[in-house]
């Protein structure tokens, strides 16, 4: 787009508007009077997935207006997508000199959005005179159509910079040529296998084999690439300091070949998108991966480890912590984990890393390739990835949320998951030394008929380097409850940690009413007891709390680490969630611990006054201790998990925590968990009887 100023009665801005459907062009003039301050459209984003959220938390289309002048603007201006109706959005005034004013086109408040296929937007005066217009083309997600120089000059495609200068914005390539072709698919190969790359006749292929992004300065493809066991390479990404106390492994970890390639046209300079493939060589001689699913995630390394935008590193936020505490000159290993600021508030180090950031802005694109235990590909696509959970953000091996979206791939769902049409999965790291403990407990709850997350072990390779064993987990979303419980997404109500995940305010109001009734009604009154039983699935509640008590879950509160769900016309049910801090001291009195947390924590205790409930609760606990929670059943299930996870459990703990961790150490840790399962039943019966008598 070309913008010119004419010295006349009016300043005339000549805009060349492309007719998007035909490629032709038309020229018209937008007029501004000489006595008016100069104002223009500076940037337009029609697919804001994660550039920036508005004040309501929405990622809406936006238009940026720029005041070029040194005068404050107090006259009325309007934005529209229709020349016949120019006054769709009134711009609030005043607009300060040099101000970048962002107008968010939220569906809740704006009368129009930017058409995803492109359209013209207009800036006009109160009198209906168009002073600027921009023909916005079809744009990919998170790409803006912006002036190269603020207020004047051509438009082009850049990464969005709402509310800031466009100068220095990163160019976003939108006209891509055909990508390079690889002669063999991702998979497991023998040493010396040759990989051939090809592209268009006038295109040159450049590639990298270290996980970095290929450019015209990378290796030029000239001859077949010979694959080898990349585990002989020095560690690269494993050496990045992802937390101050992290120590990189002092041995070469297992690796895969990551080949990334890009095609560049010799005459136009246009490029293809970067394509990456993963090749595992020599893994027939690595029995620790036998029978285990493997997943590869390949990122632009900057997405993980960049100072500004890397999601898996200390980054800028850690420097802010050191500056606030006056620790700039201290080595990382002696920087305190917290300090008290000038206001007497505690400031914690774990809240000041790039990994602690949340939300769409901290989702990064990655190429995922998933293999089953037989090493067949079950899924390959580009996906979105975020750091998941709370405590995981300041440990070394971090949990990851995986998102299948149509902005990354034509197939906007996973085929390597658990249910048809899944759009979200989690790679869950293990806590403690028995990394599969939570997955094991979820399977126990599954046998009890309590909603839980199905899971499978999965060894992760991140940018080609071994990142340990994870548990691939299904997520509690609309698809989960529709698939497992037949609840229509429109009727789904889910409360997570006291807040509505699905069902909005109606769900929270119903939940609050139900829990208050359970905790504070006089349940010796038959009518009030019946009312409670109609709103809460009491049998499910009994089983859920029997399990929590048996497993000694101490990381839980009335509104923390709890999930409840229901059909809008049904009763509330509990689902298993976050069972990390469990199976500690078998003699610990968890019932008394819950009592101390208040009436809304030990909810079965609220029903003691309901006739017959004490016997009902006691009898159910006895039945469970003879069946699903018996030592015999639990021990057999634990040994099944041990057989599946053992080798990967040991390798992962060595990789991230202790390079000297041995199989003998693992045996001691496993037996400690087994002893808990053996001893716990006798204690829990004793504590339950005491509570039943006391209350």
Cis peptide before 191 (omega within 30 of 0): no
Q: Does the pLDDT of residue 107 top 70, yes or no?
A: no
Please give the average per-residue pLDDT across 500-509, as a whole number: 94
pLDDT digits (tens, 9 = 90+) for 40-75: 999 999 999 999 998 888 899 999 999 999 999 999
What span, in angstroms and rounded, lies between the C-alpha atoms of 259 and 182?
10
pLDDT of amino acid 391: 81
pLDDT digits (tens, 9 = 90+) for 533-553: 999 999 999 999 999 999 999
Q: What is the DSSP letter of 88?
A: S
Distant-in-sequence, close-in-space partners of 316: CB < 8 Å, separation ≥ 6: 307, 308, 354
pLDDT digits (tens, 9 = 90+) for 644-674: 999 999 999 999 999 999 999 999 999 999 9
Rg (CA), the chain: 30
Residue-wise DSSP of 641-684: HHHHHHHHHHHHHHHHT-TT--HHHHHHHHHHHHHHHHHHHHHH
H-helix or E-strand containing 45?
strand 39-45
Q: Does the pLDDT of residue 12 top 80, yes or no?
A: no
pLDDT of amino acid 29: 40
Dihedral angle computed from the Cα positions of residues 412, 417, 420 and 421, in that order, rounded to the nearest 10 degrees? -20
Token pair belonging to 304: 């993980």
Q: What rounded mean pLDDT belongs to the chain?
A: 92
Q: Does the pLDDT of residue 449 top 80, yes or no?
A: yes
pLDDT of amino acid 23: 35
Backbone phi, then psi, for 359, in 5-degree steps?
100, 175
Paired with 339 in beta bridges are: 347
Report domain extents, the chain: 10-159, 315-352
pLDDT of amino acid 565: 98
Backbone phi, then psi, for 517, in 5-degree steps?
-60, -45
Q: Does the pLDDT of residue 84 top 80, yes or no?
A: yes
Q: Long-range contacts made by residues 626-634, C-beta under 8 angstroms, separation at least 24?
A: 628/444, 628/447, 628/448, 629/444, 629/546, 629/547, 629/550, 629/681, 630/681, 631/677, 631/678, 631/681, 633/447, 634/444, 634/677
Residue that is written with structure tokens 């609309």 in the block: 478
H-helix or E-strand containing 77?
strand 77-80
Distant-in-sequence, close-in-space partners of 632: CB < 8 Å, separation ≥ 6: none
pLDDT of amino acid 117: 86
């Amino acid at each position: 787009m070309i913008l010119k100023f004419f010295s006349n009665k009016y300043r005339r801005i000549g805009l060349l508007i492309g007719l998007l459907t035909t490629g032709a062009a038309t020229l018209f003039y937008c007029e501004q009077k000489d006595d008016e301050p100069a104002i223009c459209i500076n940037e337009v984003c029609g697919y804001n997935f994660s550039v920036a959220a508005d004040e309501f938390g929405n990622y809406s289309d936006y238009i940026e207006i720029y005041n070029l002048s040194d005068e404050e603007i107090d006259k009325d201006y309007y934005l529209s997508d229709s020349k016949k109706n120019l006054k769709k959005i009134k711009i609030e005034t005043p607009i300060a000199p040099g101000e970048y004013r962002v107008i968010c086109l939220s569906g809740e408040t704006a009368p129009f959005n930017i058409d995803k296929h492109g359209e013209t937007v207009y800036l006009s005066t109160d009198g209906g005179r168009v002073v600027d217009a921009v023909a916005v083309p079809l744009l990919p997600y998170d790409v803006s159509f912006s002036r190269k120089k603020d207020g004047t000059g051509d438009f082009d495609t850049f990464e969005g910079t709402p509310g800031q200068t466009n100068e220095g914005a990163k160019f976003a390539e939108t006209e891509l040529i055909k990508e390079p072709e690889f002669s063999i698919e991702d998979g497991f190969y023998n040493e010396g296998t040759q990989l051939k790359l090809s592209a268009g006749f006038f295109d040159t292929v450049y590639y990298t084999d270290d996980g970095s992004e290929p450019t015209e300065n990378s290796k030029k493809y000239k001859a077949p690439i010979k694959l080898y066991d990349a585990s002989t390479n020095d560690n690269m990404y494993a050496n990045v300091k992802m937390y101050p106390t992290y120590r990189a492994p002092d041995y070469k970890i297992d690796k895969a070949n990551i080949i990334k390639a890009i095609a560049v046209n010799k005459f136009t300079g246009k490029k293809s998108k970067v394509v990456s493939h993963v090749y595992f060589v020599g893994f027939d001689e690595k029995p620790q991966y036998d029978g285990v699913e493997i997943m590869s995630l390949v990122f632009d390394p900057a997405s993980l480890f960049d100072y500004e935008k890397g999601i898996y590193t200390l980054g800028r936020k850690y420097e802010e912590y050191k500056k606030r505490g006056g620790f700039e000159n201290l080595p990382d290993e002696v920087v305190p984990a917290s300090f008290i600021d000038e206001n007497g508030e505690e400031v914690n180090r774990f809240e000041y890393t790039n990994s602690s950031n949340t939300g769409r802005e901290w989702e990064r694109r990655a190429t995922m390739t998933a293999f089953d235990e037989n090493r067949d590909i079950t899924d390959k696509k580009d996906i979105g990835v975020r750091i998941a959970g709370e405590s995981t953000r300041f440990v070394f091996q971090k949990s990851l949320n995986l998102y299948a979206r149509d902005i990354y791939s034509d197939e906007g769902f996973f085929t390597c998951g658990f249910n048809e049409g899944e759009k979200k999965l989690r790679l869950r790291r293990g806590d403690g030394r028995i990394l599969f403990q939570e997955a094991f407990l979820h399977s126990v709850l599954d046998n009890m008929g309590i909603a839980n997350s199905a899971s499978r072990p999965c060894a992760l390779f991140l940018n080609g380097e071994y990142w340990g064993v994870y548990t691939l987990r299904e997520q509690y979303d609309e698809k989960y409850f529709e698939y497992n419980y037949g609840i229509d997404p429109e009727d789904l109500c889910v409360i997570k940690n006291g807040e509505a995940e699905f069902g909005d305010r109606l769900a929270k109001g119903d939940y609050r009413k139900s829990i208050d009734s359970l905790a504070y009604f006089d349940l010796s009154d038959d009518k009030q007891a019946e009312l409670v039983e109609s709103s809460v699935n009491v049998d499910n509640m009994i089983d859920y709390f029997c399990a929590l008590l048996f497993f000694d879950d101490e990381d839980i509160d009335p509104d923390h680490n709890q999930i409840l769900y229901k059909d809008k016309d049904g009763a509330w049910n509990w689902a298993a969630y976050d069972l990390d801090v469990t199976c500690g001291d078998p003699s610990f009195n968890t019932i008394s611990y819950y009592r101390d947390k208040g009436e809304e924590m030990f909810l079965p205790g609220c029903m003691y006054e309901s006739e017959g409930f004490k016997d009902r609760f006691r009898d159910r606990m006895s039945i469970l201790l003879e069946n699903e929670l018996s030592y015999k059943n639990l021990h057999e299930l634990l040994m099944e998990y041990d057989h599946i996870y053992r080798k990967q459990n040991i390798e992962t703990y060595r990789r991230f925590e202790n390079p000297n961790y041995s199989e003998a150490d693992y045996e001691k840790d496993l037996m400690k968990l087994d002893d808990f399962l053996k001893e716990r039943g006798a204690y829990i019966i004793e504590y339950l009887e005491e509570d039943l008598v006391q209350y």
